[in-house]
Amino acid sequence: QVPLVESGGGLVQSGGSLTLSCAASGMIFNIYNVAWYRQVPGNQRELVATITSGRRTDYADFVKGRFTISRDNAEKTVYLQMNSLKPEDTAVYYCNVVRRAGSSDYVPLRSWGQGTQVTVSS
């Protein structure tokens, strides 16, 4: 399976903004739920935000009110708009198509890509 391709990361000052993109290929994109994750070296990958095929969204508590997930099915792309960034947001950000497996758990359906690095300076 071909991984999704993340882009848009970079270095930003605390309080700044970035928009990440997640581009898919080789799938009927509109039928899938999509999730953004992030991972700090030495830590587990953690769920950041999800968007369903019906465009319902959900967010981890630590990004609520600051991040917005959206999708453009025609372009097979999901976005993560990140505002009011904090140093603790520094991580490699990944996306994947996912299947709901429980009340708050998701199963990734593609292999993991390279991710995109977000670094927030204080």
Q: Measure the CA–CA gap between 39 and 89, rounded to whole angstroms.
A: 10
Beta carbons of 95 and 78 less than 8 angstroms apart: yes
The band of 30, judged by pLDDT with boundaries at 50, 70 and 90, is very high
What's the confidence (pLDDT) of residue 103?
Answer: 79
Q: At 2, is the pLDDT very low, low, confident or very high (cuts 50, 70, 90)? A: confident
Give per-residue pLDDT as tens, 51-71: 999 999 999 999 999 999 999
Predicted pLDDT of residue 32:
95
99-119 per-position pLDDT tens digit? 989 877 899 999 999 999 999
Give the chain's mean pLDDT. 96
Q: 99 pairs with which residues across the strands?
A: 107
